[in-house]
Amino acid sequence: MLSAQDLGALTAFRRELHRYPEVSREEAATAARIVQALAGLDPDHIVTGLGGHGVAAVFDGAEAGPTVLYRAELDALPIRELSEAAHRSTIPGKGHLCGHDGHMTLLIGLGRLIARQRPARGRVVLMFQPAEEDGSGAAAVVADPRFAALRPDWAFSIHNMPGLPFGHSALKAGAVNCASQGLKITLTGKTAHASLPETGLSPALALARLIPAIGALGQGGALGRDYRLVTITHARLGEAAFGIAPGAAELWATLRTMADDQMAALRSAAMDMARTEAATQGLGIRFSHHDDFAASVNDAQAVAHLAHALDALGMPSDAGDLPMRASEDFGRFGQGGTRSAMLFLGVGKHHPALHNPDYDFPDALIPLGVQIFHQVMRDRLG
C-alpha cells in the first residue's frame, strides 16, 4: 500500500511533469524524467526510444508466467493552459490538459509497490508511450522490433474521466472508443489574374460541392457498429489576395467510425467522391492521412479482471456512457493476440473537461488508480 510519504513524492512528481509538458513526438525530456524515476525502483530492464521516445520498464516475477503490461502516455497538448496553480505549465502554448501527467504517475506509483514485492510469477511491463494525442505513438511502439520481446498477454490502461463521479469507473466489454482519421484533400488548378479568371482553373466550385457532400457521408447517430461521422475541420481556397483567382484548395475532414473496417469503407467513399469531382472539373488531386486512430475494443476477459479488482477494492463501476466518440490509440496494444482493456476513472461531475485550458489532473486520484493496477497485478500474477 502507498504510504503518506509515497503519496507526497508522487504528487510532487506529477506536478513536476505538469510544469514541463511536451507534445507528441517531442517528449525527450519527459522520457528522461521517467527513466530517472524508474532507476530508483530497480527494474530488471529499462528500454528507451521505443517508437520514438517511449520507455518500458520490465519487472520479472519469481517464476515463469504471463506478461502484464500497463500503459501510460508521455505527451501533452498544444493548448495554452489557463491556471493560477503553482505547478502550471512553464511552456507557452503547451499543457498537460488531458491528464497524461497523472497517468504516468500511476505507473510510477505501481512501480514503487512492485519494487517492494515482485510478483510471484510472470512479469510486469510499465509502458510509457509517446504520441498518443496524434494517434501515431502506440502504432510506432508496436512496430518497433524491440517490442516483440515485450509483447504482453494482457494490457491494461486507465484514463481519467471528467463528468463521472470521483472514483467511479466506466467499464464495459466491446468497442469503447471510435476509430478516427484525418483526411486532407488538396485540389490543384491554375491561378489567374482576378480580372481574367477564365484564363486559369479555379477549384472553388469543387471545394464548395465537396464540403457538404463529404460531410453527408457520415452524419452521426447512434453509436453502433454502423456509426459514421464526418466533421469538416478546415478549408482553404487560394491566396488571401483580391488580385488572384485561386489555383489551389484544401479540405480537411475528420472521419470517425465505430469499427476499423467501417473506417476503411468511409475513407474510400470520401476519396472516390473527391476524385470524381476533381476529374469533372479538370483538377489535380492528392490525399494525405493524419492522426490515424484504430478503434479501441475491450476484451471481455480483460474487462472481467478489471471488474474483479474494482469489486475487491469496493470501487463502484458501470458501463457509463460507453462507447464514446473520442478516439484513443490504446486499442493498438490489443492487436496480435493480447487481451486488453481500458477503464475510465471518474474525477468528478463538475471537473473541467479534457482538453479544456483549465483542466488539471486531481492528485487525489493517484492512490485509486495505483490500487486498481496493483490489484489486477496481484490477481493475475500473485
Report how many domains make up the chain: 2
Residue at which a domain ends, from 293, 317, 343: 293
Per-residue pLDDT tens digits for 302-324? 999 999 999 999 999 999 999 99
Domain that holds residue 276: 179-293
pLDDT at 105: 98
Per the structure block, which three cell numbers stand in for 354? 479534457
Per-residue pLDDT tens digits for 11-46? 999 999 999 999 999 999 999 999 999 999 999 999
CATH of the domain at 278: 3.30.70.360
Whole-number Å distance between alpha carbons of 337 and 122 = 17
Q: Are 157 and 243 found together in one domain? A: no
Q: Are 93 and 47 found together in one domain? A: yes
Query: pTM value?
Result: 0.95
> Position 246: which residue type?
P
Share of the chain above pLDDT 70, in %: 100
* Whether the Cβ atoms of residue 100 and residue 73 lie closer than 8 Å to each other: yes
Whole-number Å distance between alpha carbons of 128 and 176 = 21
CATH of the domain at 50: 3.40.630.10
Average pLDDT over the chain reads: 98
Partners of residue 48 on adjacent β-strands: 55
The dihedral through the CA atoms of 353, 358, 364, 369 has a sign that is positive
Per-residue pLDDT tens digits for 160-214? 999 999 999 999 999 999 999 999 999 999 999 999 999 999 999 999 999 999 9
Residue at which a domain ends, from 293, 320, 343: 293
Q: Are 173 and 193 found together in one domain? A: no
pLDDT at 308: 98
* Whether the Cβ atoms of residue 23 and residue 95 lie closer than 8 Å to each other: no
The confidence band for 143, taking pLDDT boundaries of 50, 70 and 90, is very high
Q: Are 167 and 312 found together in one domain? A: yes
Q: Are 58 and 168 found together in one domain? A: yes
